[in-house]
Structure 1
């Protein structure tokens, strides 16, 4: 299968690199020129459980000189979704599947507006990654599932084909007939740790060692569960402790959430699409979300300070 990963940062490289090891023809697209140069020169270096290995991939800073592929995996930052898919024209052919594995809610609408509903599938992944240096990524894939599905809930041949490619590469992949519930399940996991890690600056080992942080995480997740239930979403997790524990399962103590990684680079985060999505949906449904509203405010404050520095 020919695959193009739009947004080949830590997570994009973790998934794309393992898919390449599994026999897929993978092109990684990122605007980070140093990262692209390193991958094209030395291959992509994957670090897992203290062991480093290399895999040959193709990397590019844009899609301009590329050809159509079977699958486009979208992993750019949420606020870049529209720009990225508009620039991805060369890789999107008549039969190309476009699938978001991004954190948060709302990306599929952006993809449909540009690529057309017939091309778009949805998905969520629990795979983790940390960019250590250009061309070098720490990955967390052991027992971390990826769930994909059609927006109408059907179990299609193309979804099964994508899942087969993931499974062949050793990436656990499940085709869901309840992708909306799957998306909210993943949102609960992101709500549990993303903003709290960004605010405290803690990696998972330290984050999970502070009881007060766990208490705040469970309160934020409980709000998100209440919003989802008011919306009529069918969740697989209704105990707030489940997403909190799932977030760190199989990941090393030094793992950092994507929100924390963004702040450490001085970038804005995806908080509007995670905790912010809970707040917006709660407002529409009349469900109070004071904890998530506070977390959004704190992250926005940190972003402002970093942008002014």
Structure 2
């Protein structure tokens, strides 16, 4: 299968390497020239749960991308989605071509707005990976992939893609892809909340302030997803449905504790958001995750003050107006409405 992957970072690079290893004709495209050069000269180094080795992979810089695109995997940061689809993909995409999003957030809607829903495939991906240096990513954990047409139908192209991606991770077809995406938005509310602190996630989730913040933020997001008619699928060990309004505090907090225990046993101790803020000093995807929750909540007439506070706090950290420290938990805690 011929596949073009736009974005060769943690997700795109890993997927591209394993697809190439399985015999597929893969080209990864990235905007970081040093990363492209390292991949072409040495292969992509993937360390982590599957060992440490270099995988042969063909890479090109975005400026050098030529020809017609047919089967496209999009793996750039969510806040670049519209620009990349509009400027890089749309002018080159074949009439019968498609784009599948292996991203965080609700990028499927943005992609469909540019190229049409008939050329857009939804996907849920949650294997833990980090871009460490040019030519090097770390795979922290394996996790199943779910694919689905936006209208829930089962098509030949999704079946072909499912067979290909099964060489990367166990891959399944679903008729309710938005239930997975909203389940991950619930997870995202927790992930952004804990990423306001410069400490390992398991340590943060032992703090009662963090537990109450995550409880409130995840409940807000679960309520919005439920109001839109979506079930909430689990995100690995994170049981998003346990934060629905009909669950009591003990049930929801027990689910949070189970997630904390699993992450404590993982080699991945921080969220990718933490890496964006602490190591890379760059913008996060907060607007296409918690920000989307806020937007959909406003349309549905639902108050989500904790998610709003998370968005503000993350932006302040991005702008160097706030440090990443434990006092941020007090700021977020104050956003929880008093009962």
The answer, yes or no, to whether TM exceeds 0.5 is yes
Deviation at 1:69, TM superposition (A): 4.6
**Structure 2 counterpart of 1:54:** 54
How many correspondences in the alignment? 303
Cα RMSD over matched residues?
2.4
| Contact persistence 1:190–1:247 (CA under 8 A) | no
Alignment gaps of 5+ in structure 2: 234-239, 244-251, 323-339
Which deviates further from its counterpart, 201-210 or 28-37?
201-210
Deviation at 1:141, TM superposition (A): 4.2
SS class of match (1:227): helix
Deviation at 1:191, TM superposition (A): 1.7
Residue deviations 1:93-126 (CA, integer Å, cap 9, x gap): 2332211121112x22332243333211111111
**Structure 2 counterpart of 1:150:** 149
Map 1:152-301 → 2, pairs under 5 A: 152-167=151-166, 169-193=167-191, 195-236=192-233, 237-240=240-243, 241=252, 242=255, 252-264=266-278, 265-301=280-316
Q: Which has the larger radius of gyration?
A: 2
Alignment TM-score, normalising by the size of structure 2:
0.81
CA distance in 1, matches of 2:261, 2:25: 30
Map 1:106-145 → 2, pairs under 5 A: 107-142=107-142, 144-145=143-144
CA distance in 1, matches of 2:111, 2:6: 12
Alignment gaps of 5+ in structure 1: none
| Contact persistence 2:5–2:75 (CA under 8 A) | yes
Map 1:62-101 → 2, pairs under 5 A: 62=62, 64-85=64-85, 86-89=87-90, 92-101=93-102
Which deviates further from its counterpart, 4-13 or 292-301?
4-13
Residue deviations 1:100-156 (CA, integer Å, cap 9, x gap): 121112x223322433332111111111211122111101342x1111110111011
| Contact persistence 2:128–2:268 (CA under 8 A) | no
SS class of match (1:199): coil
Alignment TM-score, normalising by the size of structure 1:
0.89
CA distance in 2, matches of 1:301, 1:252: 29
